[in-house]
Structure 1
């Protein structure tokens, strides 16, 4: 059984208007029918451009955003159906590392106060000495000295603040950690340190990660399985190496063509795929395939009328595209104006 399973998850935010009485005039379809599973000990990478709904999905797993419909099954229990108090207790096993390390830490609390807060909330540790020993072990695990306990978030660098955020998640000894853009606010050299730290901790403690990012290089480095999101939907899912070697969905192909290649000859010779138009509004998603308004491989039938389902194209590879097989076989080619040489 998978540790985490999402079944047709939807998170819709109402759009309200009115001077005296608010009335709902529409919805923002932030997450609109996502199904995926994460195995125990696995790292699942969720990638997509800004506004695709990946952060909302991560927050919905923890019920930080309320779920409109669908199921979030964690270790066999549907979190979407839990009463508030039971959900609060369940959060001990699910933690989150937030994108902005400074914004997610209370500037008025020192590190010890930040880390002990979760222990108090879940009744962990019989006395102060026991809790402090647990905190010290966690600080050691993330590479921070004991002297950090008395210091405040503004006294640390960005990388150190992110380590504090990781320590706050680790101190409760969770089974699953959702990492929302864990290194996007950091310098490149610090990014590598934090990613290596996450991998080391995973190997030692057997943790499961759901890593949310827009940086394709970061996702490839740390993930076992990658899911690609577009406008609230999952359009492709495959193993990390498989997805990068043979992307099947037109959107994934366009994303991969934008990733720089560290070989000047290959970089100069390869083709890039240009997407036309802007990302549609999640408040008014296009009918049919969500990507068809920008797709270089768009066809006159099905694309604009029928929404494709995520289906198995080959072993371990799922795609939501009506024409994936014909695109792969070369029977359907992209519009010439959408493909340029580097």
Structure 2
């Protein structure tokens, strides 16, 4: 059994109106039926455009947002059905490293207070002295000195603050850490250090990661399996090598084509797949395939009316596209002009 398994997870936020906002007039379908598995010791990378539901899905695993439907099974226990008190007891085994290292740390607490607060709440350490000893050990593991205990978040650099965020997760002895854009707020030179640190900690402690990131190079480097999300749904999933060697979904192809190639000759010759139009509103998603409004290979008769299932097309490679095989074989023509000759738009930002 997988350590973490999501089955048909949905997170729908009600849209309220009225004088007292007491009337529900619709929903925002932030996450709408996501199923995936994360094996123990594995790193699962989650990518997609801003607003596709990645962060909401990560927060749903920790029950930081209410789960509308589906199951979140962790180590054999469905977290979606756990009473709040039972969830609090198990939460130390699932921790999160947030995107903004400064915004996620209380500026009025010193580092010892920040790191020991969760330990005290979960009964880790017999007393403050024992907790302080453990904190010093964890700080050393993440590359921070012991004298950091008495200092405050604003006294550290961005990279150091992210190390503190990682230490805060580690002191609770977690099995799974959800990393929400863990390096996006850092300088490029610091990003590599933090990524290397996460990999070293995973190897030494047997950690399991769910990494949410917009940088496809970072995701490729750190992930064993990658899932691509679009408008609240998972549209493709494969091992890191398989996804980058041969993306099957049109959306994934577009994302990959937007990644710069360091060789200028190759960059000039390679094809660029442009996505026309804006991302549809998650409050009113399109019928049928949710990507069909921007897809260069769409076939109106089916794509606009029938929602595709995430099906296996190769060993461990799943795609939610009616015509993935035909697109791969080149038997389906594009319905819109694409390619380097037609480049007039900026490639979509991947977040």
Give the alignment's TM-score, normalised by structure 1.
0.99
Quick one: distance in 1 between partners of 2:198 and 2:123?
26
Q: Offset at 1:263?
A: 1.1
Any idea what the Cα deviations from partners look like across 1:281-327, whole Å, max 9, x if unmatched? Answer: 00000000000000000012210001001000111100000000000
Any idea what the Cα deviations from partners look like across 1:105-152, whole Å, max 9, x if unmatched? Answer: 000000000000011000111122211111011001100000111000
- Corresponding residue of 2:346: none
- Corresponding residue of 1:40: 40
- Corresponding residue of 1:180: 180
Secondary structure, counterpart of 1:96 in structure 2: strand
Q: Is the 8 A contact 1:276 1:338 kept in 2?
A: no
Gaps of 5+ in 1: none
Secondary structure, counterpart of 1:15 in structure 2: strand
Gaps of 5+ in 2: 344-351
Q: Is the 8 A contact 1:274 1:340 kept in 2?
A: no
- Corresponding residue of 2:169: 169
Secondary structure, counterpart of 2:307 in structure 1: coil
Q: What aligned pairs does 1:143-162 form with structure 2 within 5 A after superposition? A: 143-162=143-162
Q: What aligned pairs does 1:205-224 form with structure 2 within 5 A after superposition? A: 205-224=205-224
Deviates more, 1:262-271 or 1:42-51: 262-271
- Corresponding residue of 2:256: 256
Secondary structure, counterpart of 1:302 in structure 2: helix
Give the alignment's TM-score, normalised by structure 2.
0.96
- Corresponding residue of 1:317: 317
Q: Report whether the alignment pairs 1:308 with 2:308.
A: yes
Quick one: distance in 2 between partners of 1:339 and 1:290?
23
Q: Offset at 1:338?
A: 2.5
Any idea what the Cα deviations from partners look like across 1:259-278, whole Å, max 9, x if unmatched? Answer: 01111111111010010100
RMSD between aligned residues: 0.9
Quick one: distance in 1 between partners of 2:58 and 2:20?
34
Secondary structure, counterpart of 1:275 in structure 2: coil
- Corresponding residue of 2:347: none
Q: What aligned pairs does 1:1-342 form with structure 2 within 5 A after superposition? A: 1-20=1-20, 22-335=22-335, 337-341=337-341
Secondary structure, counterpart of 2:164 in structure 1: helix
Quick one: distance in 1 between partners of 2:183 and 2:337?
35
Quick one: distance in 1 between partners of 2:21 and 2:103?
34
Any idea what the Cα deviations from partners look like across 1:16-42, whole Å, max 9, x if unmatched? Answer: 000146200000000000000000000
Q: Offset at 1:340?
A: 2.5
Q: Is the 8 A contact 1:54 1:212 kept in 2?
A: yes
Secondary structure, counterpart of 2:92 in structure 1: coil
Quick one: distance in 2 between partners of 1:235 and 1:76?
26
Q: Is the 8 A contact 1:98 1:180 kept in 2?
A: yes
Quick one: distance in 2 between partners of 1:21 and 1:206?
47
Quick one: distance in 2 between partners of 1:80 and 1:7?
11
Secondary structure, counterpart of 2:209 in structure 1: strand
The alignment covers a number of residue pairs equal to: 342
Deviates more, 1:228-237 or 1:326-335: 326-335
Pair 1:167–1:340, CA change in 2 (3 A): same
